[in-house]
Chains A and B, each alone.
Chain A
Amino acid sequence: MIKMEYYLVVSTIMMFVGIYGFVTRRNLLAMLISVELILNSVDINFVVFNRFLFPEQLEGFFFTLFAIGISAAETAVAIAIIINIYRNIRNIDAKSLREMKW
């Protein structure tokens, strides 16, 4: 029997790997992948809590499915933005996006 805490450790690691990647990666695509890692860690949490704490209910599963759908849509939007940025400045380095200051 795999205990609930093991799952949570995995999801926590995923979460902080994602945060670390988001902060340190220079490439916008890498940052996007990091965001996906964070999202997926939360999805795991939902599923795990549903499975171990409230096995007779299904909200956690459905919420996870819902979140996967949302994140797919969000990724599409993000990639569209990144493509546009590339078209404008021929670069997808986060450091060169200083224009956002003003």
Chain B
Amino acid sequence: MEYTILILLLPFVSFLVLGLAGMKMRPVVAGAVGTAVLAVVALLSWWTAFEYFSAGRDAAGVFPTVIPWNTVWLPIGGALHIDLGVLLDPISVMMLVVISTVSLMVHIYSLGYMKGERGFQRYYAFLALFTMSMMGLVVATNIFQMYLFWELVGVSSYLLIGFYYTKKEAVAASKKAFIVTRFADLGFLIGILIYGYYAGTFSFTPEAHALVAAGTMIPLALGLMFVGGAGKSAMFPLHIWLPDAMEGPTPVSALIHAATMVVAGVYLVARMFPLFIGYAPEVLHWTAYIGAFTALYAAVVACVQSDIKRVLAFSTISQIGFMIVALGVCTSADPHTGGLGYMASMFHLFTHAMFKALLFLGAGCIIHAVHSNEMSAMGGLRRYMPLTHATFLVACLAIAGIWPLSGFFSKDEILTACFAFSPVMGWTMTAIAGLTAFYMFRLYYGIFWGTENRELHAAHTPHEAPLTMTLPLVFLAAVTCVAGFIPFGEFVSADGAAYAIHIDTGVAAVSLCVAAAAIALATWMYARDRQPVADKLAATFSGLHRAAYRRFYIDEVYQFISHRVIFACISTPIAWFDRHVVDGFMNLLARGANGAAWLIRDMQSGSVQRYCIWFLGGALGLTVLILLIC
């Protein structure tokens, strides 16, 4: 399966071609090239998945880990070396399919959405770069390769958030995203170095005795790695960059900030799962608590946001919280006794990528139609955009967890895993799932029903999006409808053995009832033209409402710490020292050299006769000297 390296190389070549020669091409050609390359990559990924899973299980009953391509990139000394290569196992193959599919859909969608934008070619170049980096991340053969590509996706995310670089908010958001994730990646890097030092390797399968000998250092390393994952996956309190990242173009939000890059943290924990379970189960449970809190926080904030992309962003944070929780509640690697969460998390990652990309692309169509992100500009859009409406509804039902859409199945597995861990966790997550259904339907009614902004719609009648934009919507909606019936446990499970998914009827009934009740509540509150209940609630609890709208002032806390504490008390003195002492010394040297040059520059007069005098004087002096010595 050596051809899998092409999955990385083709987008990279596409990036180089579009990046270097793109501005010479016409936008249509550049878009077609980028999309065609991605189509080939998607076909290759699907073929890889087909070939990998149809090759069957080995004697131990698990899908073997295949490394079709590997090379030592940087020998460090001793046994330690950094490799670059391609590693195929069930989760990396699953991720390849997810990334290439969503990326292809976004490429097609952007042909319509970004039409006529300045820098269209640059946009496609960055998309290709991102796809390459993300693919490289998931097929990494070792933790260090993962880190390299981890940073590359960070860069491409930065470039794409700041795509509208003339817009001040976009520039600020891209810087924020880059700095926050970089800060978290510091933890990741330290974790990797500790891990490499004690385990003696960067690979995912170290020698057991080295890990046992390392004692508490391995849990520390894994915890630090999770800090990096939390930054990328927007876990509380490192989530602040993701809502702002919505300043980027909407298809980018769908691809990077909903479906693929932000689940990199989940993927990291899943990749290190055997080590977490074997050597640091308590760290794993801590991730579950962080994930649960994040899910709750983001769900509450999502209930009051008015910008539809912000609602979706917080919904993404909340759903990633679900995935982290599912991984964190695992107590063993056997899916029958406490290891179900691993499969549930990966399953949810898969289904969430599809329906969240669908939600974002649908939101893109809506923004395209009304030229605003605010819900106040919408309302009643179902009459103007029937196709977007239908697909958006499918996605909302899926994320709310309604049978038979894909979200129901994956969320049910997560809840089952949570109940197996502890009833408190189970009920908490069920309640958050109810909140999810509530805020998603608040969003849905706010866009498609509710109070219509007739004035705006009369001035500029909203229209259905072009075919290039609706086609991906239909495709993703179809996937969302059927993905739940994929026997996911057959392919991915904590110990690699086949696991037959069975619906826990008790959990399923409870979660369905909660979701239905939440949807009914949202319908009652938001579906009609006037919303007295919602307005009254907002007025009664105005303090809480405002706090939630301002995201509980977490950004302000960061602002305070970074500006008042770090900048004022640490950075300013350091800057003074740098400017006056370090730079001052260098300036002194430069000024000294300059002054000396001024002193001797008269010697270079250009007058031949003066040179001649110097020459004769020198010759005479030498003669006298020689005579004196001899």
Contact = CB atoms under 8 A, between A and B. Distances in A.
Size category, B interface: under 10
A99 B606 contact: yes
Contacts of B608: 94, 97, 100
B368 to A, nearest CB: 63
Size category, A interface: 10 to 19
B613 interface: yes
A95 B607 contact: yes
Contacts of A23: 609, 612-613, 616
Contacts of A94: 607-609
B505 interface: no
A92 interface: no
Interface string B601-619: 0001111110011001000
Interface string A9-41: 000000000010011100000010000000000
A101 interface: yes
A19 B607 CA distance: 16
A19 B620 CA distance: 13
Contacts of A19: 616
Interface in A78-101: 94-95, 97-101
Interface string B145-172: 0000000000000000000000000000
Nearest to B601: A101
Nearest to A99: B606
B334 to A, nearest CB: 83
A19 B609 CA distance: 10
A24 B606 CA distance: 15
Contacts of A98: 605-607
Contact of B606 (A22, A31, A97): A97
Contacts of A31: 609
Query: Which applies to chain A's interface (DSSP): helix, strand, loop or mixed?
Result: helix
A30 to B, nearest CB: 11
Contacts of A101: 604-606
A22 B606 CA distance: 16
A23 B615 CA distance: 11
Nearest to A28: B608
A22 B608 CA distance: 10
Contacts of B604: 101
A33 B606 CA distance: 21
Nearest to A95: B607
A45 to B, nearest CB: 16
A22 B607 CA distance: 12
A19 B616 CA distance: 9
A61 to B, nearest CB: 28
B611 to A, nearest CB: 9
B605 A22 contact: no
A23 to B, nearest CB: 5
A102 B606 CA distance: 8
B412 to A, nearest CB: 84
Interface string B58-84: 000000000000000000000000000
A23 B617 CA distance: 12
A23 B612 CA distance: 7
B597 to A, nearest CB: 15
21 contacts: A19-B616, A22-B612, A23-B609, A23-B612, A23-B613, A23-B616, A24-B609, A94-B607, A94-B608, A94-B609, A95-B607, A97-B606, A97-B608, A98-B606, A99-B606, A100-B606, A100-B608, A101-B604, A101-B605, A101-B606, A102-B606
Interface of B: 604-609, 612-613, 616
Interface of A: 19, 22-24, 31, 94-95, 97-102
Given A98-B606, A100-B608, A101-B606, 13 more contacts: A22-B609, A23-B612, A23-B613, A23-B616, A24-B609, A31-B609, A94-B607, A94-B608, A95-B607, A97-B606, A97-B608, A100-B606, A101-B605
- Of all A-B residue pairs in the complex, the 5 with the closest CB atoms, nearest first, are A101-B606, A98-B606, A100-B606, A23-B609, A23-B613
